[in-house]
């Protein structure tokens, strides 16, 4: 199984990126997970959507060829970061590569609410006309990693909180069943 991952933070020490890399390693026997580089995408411009730059073509092809998408994102000002919205905007036009694509949205923040507002907003965006993703249903499947600075070891970059790891393990299995259903 081939999964691509979008990470909503592009800073070097991103906790969300560390969690994505942790997942890439931990679930390597379940699927191949490629983390796409969204910070090289130019700002979406409708003038260019029919003949976008090569990096956009490559990005869209990676999504089109994937069995599923995992999105790991922080919350910025009660929503998703602009860099992630930009990537989703490119994906939503002309060849609509996210239509019917299984998507598992999750995220981590340093606050207590664990990206809940961003996740709700992201689910709205993923349901829009140009995207129409097949989103993992929310009931019981929302992985909201709060207080993430205490759950990721800065020395090893590993997610270390056992309760979070076990919950994530079970939700990854749920997502694989969802992809195959």
Site residues for ligand FMN per CB under 6 A: 9, 11, 14-16, 74-78, 109-111, 113
With respect to ligand FMN, which residue has the nearer C-beta, 74 or 102? 74
Cβ count within 10 A of residue 4: 21
With respect to ligand FMN, which residue has the nearer C-beta, 77 or 163? 77
Tokens 């993703």 locate to 133
The secondary structure of residue 42, as a DSSP letter, is P
Q: In whole angstroms, how close is the CB of 76 to ligand FMN at the nearest point? A: 4
d(CA 4, CA 31): 10
With respect to ligand FMN, which residue has the nearer C-beta, 117 or 134? 117
Of 68, 78, 79, 77, give the one whose Cα is nearest residue 122.
79
**Between β-strands 134-135 and 143-145, what pairing exists: parallel, antiparallel or unpaired?**
unpaired
Q: How far is CA 47 from the centre of its chain?
A: 27
Q: In whole angstroms, how close is the CB of 53 to ligand FMN at the nearest point? A: 26
With respect to ligand FMN, which residue has the nearer C-beta, 43 or 78? 78
Q: In whole angstroms, how close is the CB of 3 to ligand FMN at the nearest point? A: 19
Q: In whole angstroms, how close is the CB of 46 to ligand FMN at the nearest point? A: 26
Q: In whole angstroms, how close is the CB of 14 to ligand FMN at the nearest point? A: 3
**Which H or E run contains 90?**
helix 82-91
With respect to ligand FMN, which residue has the nearer C-beta, 77 or 181? 77
d(CA 155, CA 66): 32
Q: In whole angstroms, how close is the CB of 95 to ligand FMN at the nearest point? A: 29
Which phi-psi region, left, alpha or beta, contains residue 115 (left: φ > 0; alpha: ψ -120 to 50)? left
With respect to ligand FMN, which residue has the nearer C-beta, 110 or 141? 110
């Amino acid at each position: 199984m081939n999964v691509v991952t979008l990470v909503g933070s592009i800073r070097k020490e991103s906790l969300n990126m560390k969690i994505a890399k942790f997942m890439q390693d931990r679930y390597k026997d379940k699927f191949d997970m490629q983390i796409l580089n969204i910070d090289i995408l130019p700002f979406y411009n409708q003038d260019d959507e029919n003949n976008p730059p090569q990096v956009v073509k490559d990005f869209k092809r990676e999504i089109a060829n994937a069995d599923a998408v995992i999105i790991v994102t922080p919350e910025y000002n009660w929503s998703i970061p602009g860099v992630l919205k930009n990537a989703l905007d490119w994906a939503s036009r002309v060849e609509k590569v996210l239509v019917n694509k299984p998507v598992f949205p999750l995220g981590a923040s340093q606050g207590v609410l664990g990206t809940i507002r961003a996740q709700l907003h992201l689910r709205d965006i993923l349901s829009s006309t140009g995207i129409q993703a097949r989103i993992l249903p929310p009931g019981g499947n929302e992985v909201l990693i709060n207080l993430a600075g205490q759950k990721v070891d800065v020395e090893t970059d590993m997610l270390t909180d056992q309760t979070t790891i076990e919950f994530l393990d079970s939700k990854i299995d749920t997502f694989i069943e969802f992809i195959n259903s």
